[in-house]
Amino acid sequence: MFYPIRGDMFALDLQTRDSEVTMLVLSRGALLAATASLATGVLAGPSVAYAADTSTPLSAAEMSAELKAVGAATAPVASAGWTATIKVTGASMSGSEFFVVDPVAGTAFERYDFDGDTMALYAVAGKGRYVSADDPESRAALKMMHRSSVRYVFTADRSVKLDDEIGDASPATVLTDNVDHAGAKTVHDDGSAEYRFMPGKETVTVHVTAAGVLASVEDLDSDGVHATLTYAYGPQHVTLPSAGVTIGSAAMDVGLAYLDMATSVKWVAGEAATDALRAAHGHKISVSSVRKVTRGDAQAFNAGVRVQMIKTKSVGGGVRLYATNPWTHRTVTYTLEPSGRRITIAHTGN
């Protein structure tokens, strides 16, 4: 129904966004404070016994209308800011996700951890995203670049909107997405209420405070996977990563490209030889054709990785394909020379 936890291995409509979201790890004190604030927004779960409950069956249209009213009551409360905590357990899996949203400043933070796979993201409306560089490849590239202190990659993007970044965790989305199902409304003696319905094989329970504000949602599927989404409301402040721990996406692309430089040059050399043989259609291969094909393949590769890394140079009897790492100063070179209907590839660099 609502869970943005990344990973599609279980039936909770969990979806991965690319890529692409952001984070600066919260300090221990900030995390404890956030956890304490969340406690004020939690409505007691269904296991709590109430003195008097009143249950009313609702049609699909009535359920949708009731939750729309909850959304109307929640919107002004959430307009100043909100946090959301998502937890998923069951079926030999576990995961969590934490959101901090500041609609006033147009910033949001997300921290994700699913079975040890972690990610953090900051989104800034109209400006771009900071995404944690925690994967082994990024860490290796940053070490090679002598930028080991970097923890986030910033990608400028003026089209960024908080609604798109927050995704299914937004209270507005939770209360309108796939909620038109028949079910029941239960009102407790303290004025709080819960709405329960079944979209498919899962059971969804929406908890609402006595003031009619969304407090939490539970989702239990037929495989025993249990997901909970809990809200707390109030002004938030998202501190963006500093320049000292941030690298631009273009610079990161350069580092990643040179990290695999040796493999890439070898691969392009092989592709160029194959393409030149194919273009000759079984006839004698000319030096000019090998040079032309090799240059084209090198240019295509560079465009693909968005880095002008691999270069070519005409040499006697063929063409040289090479690249030099600007940090390690290592050069990898291959020479392609046609001979009749064959092409010889020689690794002439270190």
Nearest to 339 by CA among 291, 298, 286, 300: 286
* Residue 341 pLDDT exceeds 70: yes
pLDDT in tens, 165-186: 887 899 999 999 999 999 999 9
* Residue of 46 and 23 predicted with greater confidence: 46
* Residue 52 pLDDT exceeds 80: no
Which pLDDT value is given to residue 349? 65
pLDDT in tens, 277-329: 999 998 999 999 999 999 999 999 999 999 999 999 999 999 999 999 999 99
1 inside domain:
no
Do 212 and 320 belong to one domain? Answer: no
Is residue 329 packed enough to be buried (19+ CB in 10 Å), middle (13-18) or exposed (0-12)? exposed
Do 106 and 223 belong to one domain? Answer: yes
Question: For the domain that residue 166 is a member of, what is the CATH number?
Answer: 2.50.20
pLDDT in tens, 267-279: 999 999 999 999 9
Which pLDDT value is given to residue 10? 28
Which pLDDT value is given to residue 51? 55
pLDDT in tens, 196-255: 999 988 999 999 999 999 999 999 988 889 999 999 999 999 999 999 999 999 999 999
188 inside domain:
yes
Output the average pLDDT for the chain: 86
* Residue 93 pLDDT exceeds 90: no
pTM (two decimals): 0.77
Separation between Cα atoms, residue 159 and residue 120, nearest integer Å: 20
160 inside domain:
yes
Which pLDDT value is given to residue 179? 94
What band does 122 get if pLDDT is binned at 50, 70 and 90?
A: very high
Nearest to 328 by CA among 260, 248, 265: 260
Separation between Cα atoms, residue 34 and residue 234, nearest integer Å: 11
Number of alpha carbons in the 13 Å side-chain half-sphere of residue 146: 4
* Residue 32 pLDDT exceeds 90: no
Do 134 and 66 belong to one domain? Answer: yes
Do 142 and 268 belong to one domain? Answer: no
Counting the structural domains of the chain, the total is 2
Residue 47 structural domain? 28-247
Cα 160–chain centre separation:
14
Do 184 and 60 belong to one domain? Answer: yes
